[in-house]
Structure 1
Amino acid sequence: MRQPSPDEPASEGTAPLDIEHLREWVGREETVSEMVTEALVSRFRATFDLPGDARAGEDAPSMIHLCLAPPTAPTSALGPDGHPVRGGFLPPVPLPRRMWAGGAFTFHGTIRIGETVTRHSTVRDVTAKRGRLGDLCFVTVDHRIESDGRLAIEERHDIVYRAANSKAGTPQPSGEAAPHGTYRVDIEPSAARLFRYSALTFNGHRIHYDNPYTRGTEGYPGLIVHGPLQATQLVQFATTVRGMHPKRFDFRSLSPLFDIADYTLNASEDDDGLKLWTSYADGPVAMDARATW
């Protein structure tokens, strides 16, 4: 997703955000836990076509922590887009479009099947910009993920909120085509895979599974491939290319991917790490990332 420069001219007709009120959420904390069950691991492996069985005591697949202890708002408390109503742990940003803009993972240890994973979350920052595409609000959340009391992962999660009429999330057909990586594989973004990942993460956001809503209400050409799903695939790809799991993974979303065409995972050597990205066969970079060991 393209992030506008703060010096771009402002759009008309949009009231500025009450950023001082929203910044009252900075420092807010939340702690949630869930056991890693064999059933969850089996469903995760099936979603990503990973081989192997799920047995207690064995290492769980990497990035499964994104499927643990998701928010469980009642169905009656969901908004028209399938997201929970605003407020609670995250600030009540009034902008209707919410997207995963990027983040970073530092991997300290493994999560094992049968262990209880606890996520300690803190709202680190809330900022706003007003640009040509309208108001944007950026929320940064830090997560500390422990497995049976051992530090497993530290995560920075960047969220961006934008106006409904903003075109920031639409594809940029005139953008420069992404290069082909030294290592490259094709991925089919089937509706079944997107639905399964939404189910794994208890994500009710309709843009990932409700095609009539996505096309008719939000104006996208098809279902949107989840940012976390792409990040998971790139971490798995980096592990395959190097034969070992990275210590750190940084990424940012630049433009969306839809289920209307296959996309690619790409990797090329980059000093002491790998540069990774997703893109359509001849499209712009969708997610840009770097893995280091």
Structure 2
Amino acid sequence: MSKADLGTLKPWLGRTDTKDDILTPGLIERFRATLGTHLSDRADAAPLGIHWCLALEAVPSDALAVDGHTKKGAFLPPVPLPSRMWAGGDVTHVAPLTVGETVTRHSVVEDIAAKQGRSGELVFVTVRHEYSCRGRVCISERQDIVYKDVTPPRTAPAHAAPDETEPNTLKSVVTPDPTLLFRYSALTFNAHRIHYDHVYTTRTEAYPGLVVHGPLQATLLLNIAAEALGHTPGRFSFRGAAPVTLPCRLHLHCRDDGSEGAVWCQDQTGLRSFIANYAGK
């Protein structure tokens, strides 16, 4: 986008949104049923990553765009690029969420920036979320959303093989299937069609199969990091490196250096799809 085009999006800078929700035992039960043994027992209270299932945007079906996302121009700016993805972010855990308490999510659009990537023009929208209970911030998160043209996804080099570079870091293997993607979409009230509509995903957005959610991969890695530390990470920074699609096997790796470390998802071809760093404090 030109600077002039970016100027039309400036009114969205500083735009805010506030929503309330209750962290119910029912939500926790559904979250645990979906992710099972991949959740850590090291969390202070609520399962780690469940904040991505709270205070969600709930709009009528006729307010959804063709891709299943909310139509542009409400809270998020109307970026004139067709594909939207969760690029990464940073989570700071300040205090545990409390089961049965009201959770308030306050969000603000912090930045809008255009860049040129290998796949063409990109626009990054940065959103700050704060999750609070009883007036106290429990989780602070920076979320980076990228808008881009529809392009074929990057694949692993032909010579790549899983786990050859750091074989001692492998902690777990997950084999996502359409049921897991559907249940996670339901938990997060995410109607983006790339996670459940195979025809749309392959014909319109040019992916070879259904796409595994970024927040799902982040949740898996966040729980691996908690196991390595023995408690909830104070800081968890992550980014999407490449889309991963079904059928696949996700190899979850952790390189722990005591009070900090790195975790990542790697598929059966050796392609790293999601990468994160964590620290205890």
Unaligned runs of 5+ in 2: none
Give the secondary structure class of the aligned counterpart of 1:105. Answer: strand
Q: Does 1:83 align with 2:69?
A: yes
Q: Does 1:241 align with 2:228?
A: yes
Residue type of the alignment partner of 2:112 = V
Q: 1:251, 1:288 within 8 Å by CA — same for their partners in 2? A: yes
Q: 2:120 aligns to what? A: 134
1:284 to 242, 267, 271: 271
Residue type of the alignment partner of 1:90 = L
Q: 2:107 aligns to what? A: 121
Quick one: distance in 1 between partners of 2:234 and 2:160?
A: 31
TM superposition score normalised by structure 1:
0.87
TM superposition score normalised by structure 2:
0.90
Superposition deviation, residue 288 in structure 1: 1.0
2:84 to 89, 98, 118: 98
Quick one: distance in 2 between partners of 1:131 and 1:233?
A: 28
Residue type of the alignment partner of 1:204 = A
Unaligned runs of 5+ in 1: 1-13, 53-57
Q: Does 1:158 align with 2:137?
A: no
Residue type of the alignment partner of 1:173 = P
Quick one: distance in 1 between partners of 2:255 and 2:2?
A: 44
Residue type of the alignment partner of 1:108 = V
Q: 1:171 aligns to what? A: 155
Change in CA separation of 1:151 and 1:163 when aligned onto 2, cut-off 3 Å: same
Q: 1:23, 1:125 within 8 Å by CA — same for their partners in 2? A: no
1:127-276 counterparts in 2 under 5 A?
127-131=113-117, 133-164=119-150, 166-167=151-152, 169-173=153-157, 179-180=165-166, 181-270=168-257, 272-276=259-263
Q: 2:229, 2:258 within 8 Å by CA — same for their partners in 1? A: no
Superposition deviation, residue 272 in structure 1: 3.5
Change in CA separation of 1:218 and 1:173 when aligned onto 2, cut-off 3 Å: farther
Q: 1:90, 1:123 within 8 Å by CA — same for their partners in 2? A: yes
**1:204-240 deviations in whole A, cap 9, x for unaligned?**
0010111122122222111111000100100111112
Quick one: distance in 1 between partners of 2:28 and 2:266?
A: 28
Give the secondary structure class of the aligned counterpart of 1:80. Answer: coil
Q: 1:46 aligns to what? A: 33
Residue type of the alignment partner of 1:216 = R
Residue type of the alignment partner of 1:77 = A
Superposition deviation, residue 183 in structure 1: 3.9
Give the secondary structure class of the aligned counterpart of 2:52. Answer: helix
**Matched residue pairs, number?**
273
Quick one: distance in 1 between partners of 2:20 and 2:37?
A: 25
Superposition deviation, residue 269 in structure 1: 2.1
Give the secondary structure class of the aligned counterpart of 2:8. Answer: helix
Give the secondary structure class of the aligned counterpart of 2:232. Answer: coil
Give the secondary structure class of the aligned counterpart of 1:18. Answer: helix
Give the secondary structure class of the aligned counterpart of 2:121. Answer: strand
Q: 1:97, 1:163 within 8 Å by CA — same for their partners in 2? A: yes
Q: 1:30 aligns to what? A: 17
Quick one: distance in 2 between partners of 1:103 and 1:89?
A: 18
**1:107-141 deviations in whole A, cap 9, x for unaligned?**
00111110010011111100112455332100001
Q: 1:18 aligns to what? A: 5
Superposition deviation, residue 17 in structure 1: 7.2
**1:36-93 deviations in whole A, cap 9, x for unaligned?**
11111111111111599xxxxx922111110012111211111111111111111111
Change in CA separation of 1:256 and 1:132 when aligned onto 2, cut-off 3 Å: closer
